[in-house]
Structure 1
């Protein structure tokens, strides 16, 4: 996440803290302030251990930790009882948000546990007044970019508490995909749990009304794969609910589908105990994801982004359809998870492969963006998915303006062999050329495990090209992109969304040999747009700017002509040679020396 997005999130948090919205009309007589809580008090907690039935467990207060976090207290307790019982299983992942009552008054939500293996079922409770305070934040555009919650690396010699892990229960997932999902979710304190979906008959049979103690789901993926985070409702006021007692992601203002949930069973292990649950019916939207919990509105809709994935290979084609949560950080994350699962479900997970990808991104207010790429290797296909979705990552991370996605599709064509070739030679038929003449270039490639072969293409020397010595390059996509970024650095600092789209559209696929005719002759980039033949006055002005800018700069040479040669191989390497262009020297162009001086500064 960019520094600007982080700062906007902090500003949003400050605005929320000083706001006076009163979304929740809690009856104070039904709540117990943290200052009234004493060690030795006993109470009950409520959660679902099986099905949708809310059951009780016992709670004994051990103490109150004032200012455990900035302006945040914590109630420490021991939890026992329940059908398991909890003194044997420990606190379950999925119990986050379980409401805790003393003398019939709500004191808060079960929220965190010791980070290392406890001998007793100890737990921390987030006070209800802090949860209500955070749930009543003023919603603003700045809130939408709040920095995500990331669970830090724990020092095993220190003692600390961590949020109760949220089980992310997935169905329709290949076993090989679980490790990838776990890796993606681990920084956010979530545990990937392989489960299943509830049957349609069960969904129709159960009419679950969310209430304190009910299991609640937050849906991230639905369709041919389903993924939902599951916790417990802490408090409800008419159509508004609070849950979890700790952040899910720490996403600030969000818009995630909220569902009812069914607990199939509880599983207790020596390392981790959790609820195995399924989302049932979408009933509203989670709108806030804050330090002390999540909150949402029953009856409100949360639109999702459609994702279509097509995997073809060995004469077969498989189609997958998903809907993905709409959020700048989590849309790309869960699209990668769903696409990786589609690939793993369809194709083998080990051995040599070559995968050609085509990513199509449709927007609400712009032309579709299509980016093609090719990958080859012998190990995990994870880099394929990460690389294929890199344009989407770029779009969601841009500080230029929010981008609304209409639909995303990914096509993957899989071949069960490694198709890799190295550029080992470049030749042309002559050394000198004239403007308007074609340069016939032949590039020699040496494939992995095969004999070398040659690919050919031509470049046309533009009319009006000045006399001089030029370099002709034949390079892979990475080398060409690196060279271009060094040649015209400011060109890759887009000033508008349209310029960003242009950069992404011009991305070169790895199966391409790029032919480039280059001359060491200065040009200029202004406001992210390259001007290859600027007047001397503009060159003088830009060259005299004393401080560097991100959008205005001289270019380190000019691209006179280029051509792209597609191949069936992932290409690596580079070759070059010098050619002479017999053009005309123009005295009134940039061949004149650039005047030194202060000059005027171009608008930054």
Structure 2
């Protein structure tokens, strides 16, 4: 038993609605509730096989808990193929009193045997403050459940079993081959609008949540969040969601909504007014969260040797998920999370075609960046219908806000060229910007709206700096340095750009270095990185290190040189390299219409005045 029971359980313990774990005995029979077709709640039989306990020590924090081993049956279980992924949270009752929520199924073996998370441990989730972090150890650690007496599973008796997130955890965590392995019955995340390739991005950033692309229809639209673009949601024929959601109802947790949908499916375990509990295990185990809660339409439950699973789609928005904890999720009906509108406008100048992608994404840093990364990558690839080199104009319009509500708006355009992966170059630019904003050391901010405009063509639109000539017969302090720069547009004849650079009056008689360069000085030497993205100095500079505020840092980024700029810089030679101001600027900038490559250094000797 838990050493200390939370106030949520203590307040409910006197209610005959709940059956405390101490009163649950082996051999007791009851029923469970879940949905396997549409929205109709059906019941299945339940028999208690054992009471299990767990004590795990992780980073000197003792986490104790208990679980109930059950065997389920009936027509519903037969039709579902056993305990199916998506049944997580299905409420279990004995003597018409709630015992807990179904959490796990026996993988690759008997799909009618599973684990139930006690309701008193789930009720404790309501006691977590909204500012607390997820308790316990690292995500993905297996849980070892032990029984005080042997439990017969199939033809063998056991005194312990393991509960994991994925069957592969047996080998990863060194779980003995003969020990029973139970996998949490979380549904595959239903992804609408993304390809298998784009899912690899989500899996990498979400640390192996094993997302699966499921083809489900996007049907009829329903009312959406205030101020946001509409998203797909089948309308409910009768009764509002606040009236019809009950224990056993299919429940969706949505991370993105619109042209892109990212939803996981589970079951509502318990409802108290507007408050709900569900899943009976964590989703992403992020603690305090702000995810969208939706109704769900179940299309079918598929049998599987490993584990059966439900397929469904999100319907109307019903509320907010506020807690994502070890023992389940908690939320509130009728209150909605703030989501971030995303608009992508992508066009191919060669194929003369374009695509617009609009969706909303939750305000979670990992989810936010990963969804944008995957959708931008897929959107560009679908429009240009190829891989490889290209030139692209990227426009970014970003709106942000801090916790006090102060708003920031930034806009910038830049030109990019890549020899082997233009898509990866653009995606890397956007994600690195978002990471620098969200992880800013200067101020806590989060994007409130993002608009990206991308124009791609296959042609290489670059020029290379070939030579720099100083045309002055003499260069003196306070004078003007005249430089001729020979540049060669790709596969065209060379031409000359001229620049006049003022030399400061207070400079001594010393040698100077004139550097003519581009942000992409090393682009010709780049090689594909392991993730396929090109590396090099073509990446946009971030200026937060020298800025005094977030607004100043972002303003500096907006006004910083572009990949299409020809840059001039003067420095002194010697042990310490010192930049010389040119008309009170660090750089002289000459814009061009193509991506500039290369760098040339020239030594200049100053004469006496």
2:161 aligned partner = none
1:154 aligns with 2:191: no
Query: For 1:247, what is the secondary structure of its paired residue?
Result: coil
Per the alignment, do residues 243 and 478 of structure 1 end up closer, same or farther by CA in structure 2, a change over 3 Å counting?
A: farther
Question: d(CA) in 1 for partners of 2:136 and 2:569?
Answer: 42
Query: For 1:256, what is the secondary structure of its paired residue?
Result: strand
1:45 aligned partner = 32
Answer whether contact 1:257 1:284 (CA < 8 A) is retained.
yes
Question: d(CA) in 2 for partners of 1:24 and 1:210?
Answer: 23
Shift of the alpha carbon at 1:282?
A: 0.9
1:165 aligned partner = 186
Normalised to the residue count of structure 1, the TM-score between the two structures is 0.75
1:73 aligned partner = 65
Per the alignment, do residues 148 and 250 of structure 1 end up closer, same or farther by CA in structure 2, a change over 3 Å counting?
A: farther
1:557 aligned partner = 578
Shift of the alpha carbon at 1:578?
A: 1.7
Shift of the alpha carbon at 1:457?
A: 5.5
Question: d(CA) in 1 for partners of 2:6 and 2:394?
Answer: 47
2:325 aligned partner = 290
Query: For 1:91, what is the secondary structure of its paired residue?
Result: coil
Normalised to the residue count of structure 2, the TM-score between the two structures is 0.75
Question: d(CA) in 2 for partners of 1:578 and 1:146?
Answer: 61
Choose from 462, 467, 485 the match for 1:442: 485
Shift of the alpha carbon at 1:83?
A: 4.7
**Which deviations, in whole Å up to 9, do the C-alpha atoms of 1:128-153 show, x marking residues without a partner?**
1111112221223x65x999974368
Question: d(CA) in 2 for partners of 1:331 and 1:371?
Answer: 21
Answer whether contact 2:481 2:503 (CA < 8 A) is retained.
no
1:203 aligned partner = 235
Of Structure 1 and Structure 2, the greater helix share is in: 1
CA RMSD of aligned residues (A): 3.9
Question: d(CA) in 2 for partners of 1:495 and 1:75?
Answer: 53
Choose from 361, 367, 375 the match for 1:330: 367
Specify every segment of 5 or more residues in structure 2 that has no aligned partner in the other structure, as ranges: 57-61, 142-167, 223-233, 524-534
**Which deviations, in whole Å up to 9, do the C-alpha atoms of 1:507-562 show, x marking residues without a partner?**
5544545432223589xxxxxxxxxxxxxxxxxxxxxxxxxxxxxxxx96335341
**Which deviations, in whole Å up to 9, do the C-alpha atoms of 1:457-511 show, x marking residues without a partner?**
6362353351322222234426699999xxx999726553234324533555445
| Superposed counterparts of 1:129-528, under 5 Å | 129-140=120-131, 143=133, 150-151=139-140, 154=169, 156=171, 157-158=174-175, 162-174=183-195, 176-185=197-206, 187-188=208-209, 190-200=211-221, 202-205=234-237, 207=239, 208=241, 209-270=244-305, 273-314=308-349, 315-364=352-401, 365-373=406-414, 374-379=416-421, 381-417=423-459, 425-430=467-472, 433-434=475-476, 435-442=478-485, 444=487, 447=490, 450=491, 453=494, 456=497, 458=499, 460-467=501-508, 468-477=510-519, 492=545, 494-505=547-558, 508-519=561-572
**Which deviations, in whole Å up to 9, do the C-alpha atoms of 1:561-595 show, x marking residues without a partner?**
413455566555533222234588xxxxxxxxxxx
Per the alignment, do residues 86 and 489 of structure 1 end up closer, same or farther by CA in structure 2, a change over 3 Å counting?
A: same
Choose from 115, 118, 126 the match for 1:124: 115
Question: d(CA) in 1 for partners of 2:23 and 2:388?
Answer: 64
**Which deviations, in whole Å up to 9, do the C-alpha atoms of 1:308-362 show, x marking residues without a partner?**
1111223334333222212333222222233334324433143443333222112
**Which deviations, in whole Å up to 9, do the C-alpha atoms of 1:188-234 show, x marking residues without a partner?**
46544332223359514254521111111122222222222221111
1:96 aligned partner = 88
Shift of the alpha carbon at 1:442?
A: 1.5
Query: For 2:504, what is the secondary structure of its paired residue?
Result: coil
Answer whether contact 2:390 2:422 (CA < 8 A) is retained.
no
Question: d(CA) in 2 for partners of 1:124 and 1:228?
Answer: 24
Specify every segment of 5 or more residues in structure 1 that has no aligned partner in the other structure, as ranges: 1-16, 523-554, 585-604
Question: d(CA) in 2 for partners of 1:444 and 1:357?
Answer: 24
Q: Which deviates more, 425-434 or 319-328?
A: 425-434
Answer whether contact 1:149 1:188 (CA < 8 A) is retained.
no
Shift of the alpha carbon at 1:49?
A: 0.6
Answer whether contact 1:431 1:579 (CA < 8 A) is retained.
no
Per the alignment, do residues 113 and 378 of structure 1 end up closer, same or farther by CA in structure 2, a change over 3 Å counting?
A: farther
Report the count of equivalent residues: 528
2:605 aligned partner = 580
Question: d(CA) in 1 for partners of 2:375 and 2:385?
Answer: 16
Q: Which deviates more, 560-569 or 221-230?
A: 560-569
Shift of the alpha carbon at 1:26?
A: 6.8
Per the alignment, do residues 454 and 137 of structure 1 end up closer, same or farther by CA in structure 2, a change over 3 Å counting?
A: farther
1:601 aligned partner = none
Q: Which deviates more, 558-567 or 400-409?
A: 558-567
Answer whether contact 2:468 2:483 (CA < 8 A) is retained.
no
**Which deviations, in whole Å up to 9, do the C-alpha atoms of 1:231-257 show, x marking residues without a partner?**
111110010001112222222222222
Answer whether contact 1:466 1:581 (CA < 8 A) is retained.
no
**Which deviations, in whole Å up to 9, do the C-alpha atoms of 1:292-323 show, x marking residues without a partner?**
22111111121211111111223334333222
Answer whether contact 1:19 1:137 (CA < 8 A) is retained.
no
Question: d(CA) in 2 for partners of 1:197 and 1:23?
Answer: 43
Question: d(CA) in 2 for partners of 1:230 and 1:124?
Answer: 18
Per the alignment, do residues 56 and 329 of structure 1 end up closer, same or farther by CA in structure 2, a change over 3 Å counting?
A: same
Answer whether contact 1:431 1:580 (CA < 8 A) is retained.
no
